[in-house]
């Protein structure tokens, strides 16, 4: 009996002749925080997007909470309720205010009444520290605030798994900290998280496991101390050296 919340088996994906994911196997346990690092173009975002089927693998299996997302007959909308996603570009709904952004799916997907949905949405906004901006529109918020709203929006659905696709890469440096703080609290609360990131400090401090990807393959994985502190593979060492030099 397999207890892993997320199970990727032999997942491959090709974009116009280029093999972006090459026979990936990955399991994530409940409560685990996994940070995926690697050079741009290594396939880490594509891997993440396969976990909620924003990308469909060419072959292999993706199972989340017992549901096989690669089965064409699976109810993908139902499966996605279990999987929160936070994007690099926030992707808040531009025509809705902050509260509506967080309440929309509660009403349309879960069928909650407006008052109930808004109460839940407010709770989440409170949790990310933005209850006072409930009536603002996304364009009136800073990038860091927008990303925290995006996190609240995903959390409002009470997902079993949270996916983060380079959540701080589009932020001004001084705004990164607030977002990482929220994510750290989320990890401390026992949320299962897969985080594609360039924030090595965050990975070192928060991750239970770090996965290093290059050229569509998982090159190395282990505890942050192992992968970031004592990488065994040459390519990992190269990458970490370049990151620490430029960072």
Partner 1 sequence: MADPNGHAVRSGRSPRQRARRRRAIQYVALAIVIGVLAFMADWPTIGHTFFDPALILNTAAHGLWRALWNTLVYSAGGFVIGLAAGTLLALMRLSEVAPYRWLATLYIEFFRGLPALIVFIALSLLPLAFQGLAMPFSPYGTVWAALGIVGSAYMAETIRAGILAVPRGQIEAARSLGLSPAQTLRQITLPQAFRLMIPPLTNELIMLIKDSSLVFIVGLSAANFDLTKFGRAAANNHVNITPLVVAGLGYLIITLPLSIVVRRMEARAASGRRA
Residue 190 buriedness (CB in 10 A; 0-12 / 13-18 / 19+):
exposed
Report the SS3 class of residue 204: helix
Check residue 168 for interaction with partner 1 (CB under 8 A): no
Q: Residue 85 or residue 228: which is nearer to partner 1 going by CB?
A: 85
95 near partner 1, rule: CB under 8 A: yes
User: Helices (H), strands (E): how many in the chain?
Assistant: 9, 10
Q: Which of 57, 138, 144, 224 binds partner 1 (CB under 8 A)?
A: 138
Least CB distance to partner 1 at residue 104 (A): 6
Q: Applying CB under 8 A, does 167 fall inside the site for partner 1?
A: no
Rounded distance between C-alpha atoms, residue 132 and residue 129, angstroms: 8
112 belongs to the binding site for partner 1 (CB under 8 A)? no
DSSP one-letter string for 2-35: ---SEEEEEEEEEETTEEEEEEEEEEE-TT-EEE
Residues 6+ apart with CB under 8 A from 73: none
Is 80 a binding residue for partner 1 by CB under 8 A? The answer is yes
Rg (the chain; Cα; Å): 18
Among 18, 41, 58, 93, binds partner 1 (CB under 8 A): 93
What residues contact 16, with CB distance under 8 A and at least 6 apart?
none
104 contacts partner 1 (rule: CB under 8 A): yes
Which of 28, 69, 105, 182 binds partner 1 (CB under 8 A)? It is: 105
**CB nearer to partner 1: pick between 61 and 107:** 107
Contact residue for partner 1 among 154, 176, 194, 219 (CB under 8 A): 154
Q: Which residues bind partner 1 (CB under 8 A)?
A: 52, 54, 77-78, 80-81, 83-85, 87, 89, 91-95, 104-105, 108-109, 137-140, 150, 153-154, 157
């Amino acid at each position: 009996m397999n207890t892993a919340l997320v199970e990727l088996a032999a997942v491959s994906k090709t974009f116009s002749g280029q093999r972006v994911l090459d026979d990936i196997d990955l399991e994530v346990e409940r409560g685990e925080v996994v940070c995926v690092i690697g050079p741009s173009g290594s396939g880490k975002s594509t891997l993440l997007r396969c976990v909620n089927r924003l990308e469909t693998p060419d072959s292999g299996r993706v199972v989340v909470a017992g549901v096989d997302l690669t089965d064409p007959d699976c109810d993908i909308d139902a499966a996605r309720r279990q999987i929160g996603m936070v994007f690099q570009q926030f992707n808040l709904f531009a025509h809705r205010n902050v509260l509506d952004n967080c309440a929309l799916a509660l009403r349309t997907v879960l069928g909650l009444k407006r008052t109930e949905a808004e109460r839940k949405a407010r709770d989440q906004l409170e949790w990310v520290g933005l209850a006072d901006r409930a009536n603002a529109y996304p364009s009136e918020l800073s990038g860091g605030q927008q990303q925290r709203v995006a996190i609240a929006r995903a959390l409002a659905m009470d997902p079993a798994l949270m996916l983060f696709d380079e959540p701080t890469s589009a932020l001004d440096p001084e705004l990164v900290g607030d977002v990482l703080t929220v994510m750290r609290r989320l990890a401390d609360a026992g949320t299962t998280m897969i985080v594609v990131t360039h924030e090595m400090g965050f990975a070192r401090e928060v991750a239970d496991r770090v996965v290093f990807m290059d050229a569509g393959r998982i090159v190395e994985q282990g505890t942050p101390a192992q992968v970031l502190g004592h990488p065994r593979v040459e390519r990992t060492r190269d990458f970490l050296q370049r990151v620490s030099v430029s960072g």
